[in-house]
Amino acid sequence: MRDVAIVGVGIKKWGELWEQSLRNIFVDSALAAIDDAGANRIDSMYVGCMSGGLFVGQEHLGALLADHLGQGPIPGTRVESACASGGVALRSGLLEVASGASDIVLVGGVEKMTDVSGDEATYALATASDQEWEAFNGVTFPGLYAMMAVAHMHKYGTTREQMAAVAVKNHFNGSLNPLAQYPHPTTVEAVLGSVLVADPLHILDCSPITDGAAALILCPADKAAEFSGTPVRIIGSGFSTDTIALHSRADLSSLDAVTRAAQKAYEMAGKSPADIDLCEVHDCFTIAEIMATEALGLVEIGQGGKAAEAGETAIGGRIPINTSGGLKSKGHPVGATGVAQAIEAVEQLRGGAGERQVEDARVAMVQNMGGTGASAVVHIMEAM
């Protein structure tokens, strides 16, 4: 298997992009990644997208987007793993280059979520839960993560204030990111005073509905010097699944698929949690960040809330988490999120993250998951 490098990244500002189509926002980011790499061809393409059919009425995205990008007849594959679609697309592209099947692979992610009503968006997102046992009975993702939060609070003493501290940190980081959807600082008091969505989660504990796309260019690491973009090596990758239905799990306060995926990535990379300089985690809800940092081994089990409250996960802290602003502030176009997380890691390892730059960053991790953690993918990257 060949070592693989990221040599190009492309992302535009996310938000409510009503006047732009799914295909156009994808092409804009893909062209930016191609330009960043200085690539003169693409051999293959993977696109993460959770539910183009329900959000914009468009499936068959592999062929559509290859054509609209002007890259037909290359192989174009749409990848779906709920909110982990982008991360699994990255893993798919990684494996294709590592195997020697292709030399230059474009990995993208895209979702257009605001062209439907709130009710329709809720329905589309609920397809990532267990339809018979959860969605049919009216349980939405805020409700499911609220159950996880209550379980974590009961078992470890996690508080609402600690969850709010995650939102405060990520909105501060997002205020330093010119591409963030909601680059507005907030306070613990504002989070706790915002509308209650599913007790104990308030609206400011929840990530938004977002339109957006992101793209990467992968190549063999020994050919990275042929491209203009500063390369970053992917040194670890892990992927795991769990039960979709939350009630089937032994412990609602843990993310076992994240733990297993991380173990595989650490083993492949030859790294441990102590080697990680920064991490982008899947903070679809504030409790999700707390649980993910624990599952990744970055903080002790049950101590994720305390770590956030104490500033350990802030920029300048012991282990900076979600320097981009995370899903919470940057936005969460579900199919694109995993790719955008990798872009933040690349920018940090290149030393190009501006005001949110982590000092002396050499090793970064990204963690993307679907549903309540029924699928989880982790990548570890290193500066070259």
- Provide DSSP, 289-325: HHHHHHHTTSS-TT-HHHHHHTTTTSTTSSS-B-TT-
Active-site pick, 152, 282, 332, 379: 332
Instruction: Check residue 142 and give its pLDDT.
Output: 96
Contact 376, 255 (CB under 8 A): yes
Please give the structure tokens belonging to residue 288. 């999700």
Contact 169, 313 (CB under 8 A): yes
Contact 263, 296 (CB under 8 A): no
Torsion of CA 91, 92, 97, 98, to 10 degrees: 60
Q: Indicate the residue type of 20.
A: Q
> In angstroms, how far is CA 192 from the centroid of its own chain?
25
Instruction: Check residue 229 and give its pLDDT.
Output: 82
* Structural domains of the chain, with CATH: 4-117+209-232 (3.40.47.10), 129-206+235-383 (3.40.47.10)
Please give the structure tokens belonging to residue 297. 């081994």
Q: Which residues contact 131 (CB under 8 A, 6 or more apart)?
A: none
Alpha-carbon span 89 to 47, nearest angstrom: 6
Instruction: Check residue 107 and give its pLDDT.
Output: 98
Asked about 332 being catalytic, the answer comes back as yes
- 3-class SS of residue 191: helix
Alpha-carbon span 303 to 297, nearest angstrom: 11
Burial class (CB in 10 A: 0-12, 13-18, 19+), 256: middle
Active-site pick, 49, 83, 219, 284: 83
Asked about 83 being catalytic, the answer comes back as yes
| Per-residue tens of pLDDT for the chain, all 384 residues | 999 999 999 999 999 999 999 999 999 999 999 999 999 999 999 999 999 999 999 999 999 999 999 999 999 999 999 999 999 999 999 999 999 999 999 999 999 999 999 999 999 999 999 999 999 999 999 999 999 999 999 999 999 999 999 999 999 999 999 999 999 999 999 999 999 999 999 999 999 999 999 999 999 999 999 999 899 999 999 999 999 999 999 999 999 999 999 999 999 999 999 999 999 999 999 999 999 999 999 999 999 999 999 999 999 999 999 999 999 999 999 999 999 999 999 999 999 999 999 999 999 999 999 999 999 999 999 999
Alpha-carbon span 233 to 383, nearest angstrom: 6
Q: How many residues does the chain have?
A: 384
Alpha-carbon span 290 to 373, nearest angstrom: 13
Alpha-carbon span 187 to 165, nearest angstrom: 8
> In angstroms, how far is CA 242 from the centroid of its own chain?
18
Alpha-carbon span 41 to 45, nearest angstrom: 11
DSSP structure class, residue 81? B
Alpha-carbon span 221 to 362, nearest angstrom: 16
Alpha-carbon span 226 to 218, nearest angstrom: 12
Helix axes 337-350, 85-99, angle to 10 degrees: 60
